[in-house]
Structure 1
Amino acid sequence: MDEIEEVVAEIVRGCSARKVHCSELLAAFVARTILEGDAQTFALEKELNDEDVNMVINLSVERLLEKDSPSLETIKMQVAFDSSHVMNEEAVATAAATAAAKKRELQKTIISTKLMDANDFDSLTALYREIFSLLTKTRSSEEYPEGVRRAVEREVAAAVESVFPRIGLKSFVQLSSEEKKMQLEELASIVNGIRLFNKEAGKGGAGLDNFEVDAPNKVSELSGIISGEIDAMNVICQEYQEVIVFSNLRKPAEVTEYMVQRWKDELANRRQYLSYLQSLFEDISKCGRKISFLRESYLSELDDLSSMVGSRNSVPKEHVYPKFDKIAQLWKDLGDELEIVTCRESTLNDLVDYKSSFTATLNSDSQILSLARDAPTLSTEEEEEAARAAVIVTGDGGAPDKAESKEGPESSGPDPTDLPKGTVPSDLLPPNERPVCLSIDSTPEFMQLPLEYQGFCAWTISSRSGLLLPGKPALGVVQFNNGFFVFAHEVALQSFLDDPLKYVEGVKTVAMKNPELIHLLRLQASFPNTAIAKLMGTSAKNPETLPLGFPAPASKVDVSTSTPLHFVEKNIDPSYSWNEWTLRKRALQLANLKKCKTSSQQTDESHMRRENDSQVYLPRTKSTMTKTSTGTNVARKITYVKGLRGEGIKDVSRVNLSLEVSATKNVGQSSR
């Protein structure tokens, strides 16, 4: 940032050494246009060295020291108009902010007042004085003459006594801060409305401005002045246009290329001046419509209030207080609009300084203008033939347009390999990106379309080295890349439809060589570093300084912070390690664990050992089982003696039996 300011300061010092006044903003703008216009020498990707910086300074000083240069005067006009517009707006915003700050301080003092008890007479008196001081602050000057100041105080005291008597202070003190603030706002509005009503009735209104009269008169006065200037400037631009077109078509011997280029520069200056006049006229007309509506509403409310009050001594406050509030609000809005109109008047005064800032080489008495007016009018065919023979300035430095050669626009078209860099014919573009010609019959909002290049013909700007000719919407409006283009004749329209990118890039190329066209054609989006608003780097919130931009610096604010002596770490991760080798060791350990296998074995020492405090044994499941045995019955051998019992022992013999137990038992029983 210091280097940027130093470059701008060097440019300003160089101009001052030649006794030429140059603002820092103008120096920054000219330097930026030089950097943008010579992209080969000062490439954006290349850092500027000391030699480049010195070259920028020398070229900027040389540019700013040009004498009687319409293009330089156009640049000065653009910088002066934009800076004046912004500074006037910021001055109004600053004044409003200062008044609001004073009002807030008074309200804060009133709201913070506390009473010792309900009978604290001194505190109540001081509070009433603070409220009275707040109500005497109006939109008019705070410093009244002695007689006016006393009249204002008497009117305010009478109005306050009827709206907010002293007895109401006790209940006011009991309200919350927000309720106090709302009541103070309402009280101030009602008191102001009462004074305005009395002023209308001829019974007061000391120190109150007549916004309902001054605002319409100011709008009418400025509208008449600007309208006259616009009419005169339209005539001058038409004269320049006639002479330049005549010189291009008829080629008079007494007209040189330098003269034609000079007329183009002067025409661009006049069109920029006319554009600013039209912008101011639109703003003032918008304010005039709003002022007219507010004035009618204001007078209507006064009439309603007059009919409501009439000759009665008392009127219900719920009926009249809203009317007083409405009247005060309308009066305030009228004052706001009058301030905007006053800002536009100040900007107009700064703009008028550039009405005759150079020596005009063409006027209504010029011989060439008489020749142009007396020359027979060319037919449409002759004009189109002359247009076809034009050499188109393209992005590569001015190659002829093969599509518009003597073969006519219906030729086979250019070879894509021979086209300048950055151009693509329409038939090679995607269908959704091709230009479309709109007509008034097919487009309902045809008359409200926002035209590119402020309605000037892109073909003429590109092919005629920056000549500004207004387009004719009757021929059709071409829609391309969300933009709407108009053209001066049919050949220009058809050529743009054939290759739109060629002429869009051609306009940018011409603007790089003629930086005054950047703002005139509203090409700030294509050249963001040259935008005056960006170079100023201002905002309504910080109007005290105008930081220079080359490019614009970032906004800065004063901030502070307190640093503790010992920081307390609240989020500590115990497993965190910053050491790379420790992390590597841990990674190897984790990788090694994946290869390990866990095994266990019961030993005599570990048998029945357990941790009583860490193990829980569930109740044992109890059950009974019936014992069973299986086997085979082995045969038992039993020997009996036969014949020992009975009548007479005739024969004794041995009997051998092989029986199972059960069988043996049965035999024994049967034997018994």
Structure 2
Amino acid sequence: MDEIEEVVGEIVRGCSAQKVQCSELLAAFVARTILESDAQTFALEKELNDEDVNSVINLSVERLLEKDSPSLETIKMQVAFDSSHVMNEEAVASAAASVAAKKRELQKTIISTKLMDANDFDSLTALYREIFSLLTKTRSSEEYPESVRRSVEREVAAAVESVFPRIGLKSFVQLSSEEKKLQLEELASIVNGIRLFNKEAGKGGAGLESFEVSAPNKVSELSNIISGEIDSMNVICQEYQEVIVFSNLRKPAEVTEYMIQRWKDELANRRQYLSYLQSLFEDVSKCGRKISFLRESYLSELDDLSSMVGSRNSVPKEHVYPKFDKIAQLWKDLGDELSIVSCRESTLNDLVDYKSSFTLTLNSDSQVLSMARDAPTLSTEEEEEAARAAVIVTGVAEPKEEGKEGPETTGDVIDLPKGTVPSDLLPPNERPVCLSIDSTPEFMQLPLEYQGFCPWTIYSRSGLLLPGKPALGVVQFSNSFFVFAHEVALQGFLDDPVKYVEGVKGVAMRNPELIHLLRLQRDFPNTAIAKLMGTQGGAGPAEQLPLGFEAPTTKVDASTETPVHFIEKNIDPSYSWNEWTLRKRALQLANLKKCKTSSQQTDESHMRRENDSQVYLPRTKSTMTKTSTGTNVDKRITYVKGLRGEGVKGGIVGMSLEIKETVNVGQSSR
């Protein structure tokens, strides 16, 4: 149905023409409930024609233009509460995400900074300024006045100088990206912890909120306001309940059927208002318990740190830095819880606008209320007899047997749900079971359906909301737990549970304000306000959907191929069949034993080796060569003897002689 967006727009414009403000969410919810309540006319499986579209628009506008309507005000309150709850949480999350994004940008700039030279003074100064800017960035830092901002900068500068002096920048730039990020986060936490400690000592802490004081005070103040509203609303609901029950049982002449139906609608509105108050009170109480625990831990850490520091001028950093880190984390958690409490306060302010959005026709001075209080108390038998007659009094038609005439009914007749199955015809494991406090250890923790209201009364008395009495017993049926207002209701449900479960759905379909009040969103998924808002259960923003309709289901063909018989494979990845590979590993292990270092390995030195600390002995080397031999060769030298006149008588030159001289060749000896 792509026409829904057009329908919503036309509904909003139609209300604006009558000077009635209507949000798209409210228009979509009303249009959706009209489509659900008349499924025969507006079948979901077919497209809406022009006549259907106009009919939905006219019915929705007519519904939204009702004056002084308790049921319409209940629907408006439901839409306003859920939307306010989501919007307030999104606002807080958006503010926190904005600051976190700015911090991430600064961290990214710091981490990506590279120095060409370790002695580059200008680059180191710029890097230090970026770190300083990161440390001064908080959720409310942009709201500081100029004087406070300067005080914050002086405190941060003093803390950084003691924790992370400029000389440490040289070693910081050599760290990896992940190590830099962790060190920056730890530095910010320690600096914040130092400022918080100085604030406690009265020596600083400019711009730091005292969450340990403001958070408990805020919780106490808000709890008292909500508690007072709950008490007054309980009294009003009790008055309505007494008057309606009295009118059904005693039938006073001055009370008409219209008045009873009006009181039922007003009671449903007040119970919805009370339910939201109780939900807020539960959330605030949960935050209060957590804040109390965090506050005690925060003050305890401050006391331990004060006793550790005392009057000493210096303390080992390995003792105090973890304390500073813990203090900063506890302070941050207190601020987060305070933000949640502030969200609940904003939601309460939006809810209070619907406290007097219509005219109450019943108050403490009403004559009918005085008559109900002065009426004599009925006995148990009389109450049961009146309860049995309730289906006739309120106009619910019981089935007629063939050949017999049923009792006459008054007012609007409510058809019995189709497909009802008595308990006797249900399988034994699906029949309702009555649980008692003696047989069920977790009896008090059972999650009750319809917020603890009696389903028999809701169906039999046309949407009357009476709280059940667990003392009568809790009935378990179809993995759900039900309580009832009296014995007749309990027995009636045990006889035919499907009748009343389906009957409650039918009543909620005709009275859309009961869908969220009785928490029937599971049975009416298309009318869930969280879904119309485009959120999944109100937990956060999801993919935006067209108002009033489900996202189309994506279907794809998928298949897997599996073997007929699975074969188990036991593969050892370290196994090797190669003998030379095994020999290589053995040599590696033997070589490690020859290393000089024998100290214990650490995480950083594991499977690493430093050349200056590891000594490998030189390997013995030798070669094999062939044996070579040589021969003696005669070398002949010819010269003239006696040219100088020596050894010759009369200086006569003699004749030349030939002398053989032996010369070494190869390895031969002379």
TM class by shorter-chain length? 0.7 to 0.9
1:271 to partner: Cα distance: 0.1
Output the CA distance in 2 between the equivalents of 1:515 and 1:351: 19
SS of equivalent to 2:637 = strand
Structure 1 residues 121 and 345, CA gap change in structure 2 (3 angstroms): same
1:140 to partner: Cα distance: 2.6
1:485 to partner: Cα distance: 0.3
Quick check: 534-543 or 627-636, which moved more? 627-636
Deviations 1:24-75 (A, max 9, x none): 0000000000011112211233322111111000000000000000000000
SS of equivalent to 2:249 = helix
Output the CA distance in 2 between the equivalents of 1:191 and 1:605: 29
1:534 to partner: Cα distance: 0.5
Deviations 1:420-477 (A, max 9, x none): 5210000000000000000010000001100000000000000000000000000000
Structure 1 residues 196 and 649, CA gap change in structure 2 (3 angstroms): closer
1:147 aligns with 2:147: yes
1:90 to partner: Cα distance: 1.1
Q: Is the 1:426–1:500 contact (alpha carbons within 8 Å) kept by the matching residues of 2?
A: yes
Structure 1 residues 262 and 664, CA gap change in structure 2 (3 angstroms): closer
1:567 to partner: Cα distance: 38
1:69 aligned partner = 69
Give the count of matched residue pairs: 665
| Cα RMSD, aligned residues only | 22.6
Output the CA distance in 2 between the equivalents of 1:118 and 1:641: 85
Output the CA distance in 1 between the equivalents of 2:127 and 2:545: 42
Structure 1 residues 525 and 585, CA gap change in structure 2 (3 angstroms): farther
Q: Which runs of 5+ in 1 are unaligned?
A: none
1:571 to partner: Cα distance: 33
Structure 1 residues 596 and 433, CA gap change in structure 2 (3 angstroms): farther
1:477 aligned partner = 474
Structure 1 residues 169 and 544, CA gap change in structure 2 (3 angstroms): farther
Quick check: 164-173 or 659-668, which moved more? 659-668
1:561 to partner: Cα distance: 28
2:396 aligned partner = 398
Quick check: 420-429 or 57-66, which moved more? 420-429
Output the CA distance in 2 between the equivalents of 1:245 and 1:380: 15
Structure 1 residues 462 and 186, CA gap change in structure 2 (3 angstroms): same
Deviations 1:192-227 (A, max 9, x none): 000000000000000111111110000000000000
Structure 1 residues 270 and 363, CA gap change in structure 2 (3 angstroms): same
SS of equivalent to 1:642 = coil
SS of equivalent to 1:307 = helix
**TM (normalized to structure 1)?**
0.79
SS of equivalent to 1:19 = coil
1:665 aligned partner = 663
Output the CA distance in 2 between the equivalents of 1:608 and 1:204: 49
Quick check: 9-18 or 597-606, which moved more? 597-606
1:411 to partner: Cα distance: 21
1:330 to partner: Cα distance: 0.1
Q: Is the 2:420–2:498 contact (alpha carbons within 8 Å) kept by the matching residues of 1?
A: yes
Deviations 1:130-160 (A, max 9, x none): 0000000123342321111110000000000
1:670 to partner: Cα distance: 92
Structure 1 residues 113 and 568, CA gap change in structure 2 (3 angstroms): farther
Output the CA distance in 1 between the equivalents of 2:233 and 2:37: 30
1:638 to partner: Cα distance: 109
Output the CA distance in 2 between the equivalents of 1:613 and 1:195: 46
Q: Is the 1:416–1:424 contact (alpha carbons within 8 Å) kept by the matching residues of 2?
A: no
Quick check: 640-649 or 29-38, which moved more? 640-649
Deviations 1:327-355 (A, max 9, x none): 00000000000000000000000000000
Structure 1 residues 476 and 541, CA gap change in structure 2 (3 angstroms): closer
SS of equivalent to 2:236 = helix
Deviations 1:261-309 (A, max 9, x none): 0000000000000000000000000000000000000000000000000
1:114 to partner: Cα distance: 0.7
Structure 1 residues 249 and 122, CA gap change in structure 2 (3 angstroms): same
Deviations 1:75-108 (A, max 9, x none): 0000000000011111111112111111100000
Q: Is the 1:636–1:659 contact (alpha carbons within 8 Å) kept by the matching residues of 2?
A: no
Structure 1 residues 310 and 48, CA gap change in structure 2 (3 angstroms): same
1:406 to partner: Cα distance: 14
Output the CA distance in 1 between the equivalents of 2:164 and 2:265: 67
Higher Cα radius of gyration: 1
Output the CA distance in 1 between the equivalents of 2:127 and 2:397: 82
1:495 aligned partner = 492
Structure 1 residues 501 and 21, CA gap change in structure 2 (3 angstroms): same
Q: Is the 1:389–1:406 contact (alpha carbons within 8 Å) kept by the matching residues of 2?
A: no
Q: Is the 2:110–2:131 contact (alpha carbons within 8 Å) kept by the matching residues of 1?
A: yes
Structure 1 residues 431 and 305, CA gap change in structure 2 (3 angstroms): same
Quick check: 607-616 or 261-270, which moved more? 607-616
Q: Is the 1:31–1:60 contact (alpha carbons within 8 Å) kept by the matching residues of 2?
A: yes
1:609 to partner: Cα distance: 70
Deviations 1:170-205 (A, max 9, x none): 000000000000000000000000000000000000
Deviations 1:229-252 (A, max 9, x none): 000000000000000000000000
Deviations 1:389-436 (A, max 9, x none): 222799xx94316799999999999x9999852100000000000000
Quick check: 178-187 or 44-53, which moved more? 44-53
SS of equivalent to 2:378 = coil
SS of equivalent to 2:463 = coil
Structure 1 residues 660 and 290, CA gap change in structure 2 (3 angstroms): closer
Structure 1 residues 624 and 270, CA gap change in structure 2 (3 angstroms): closer
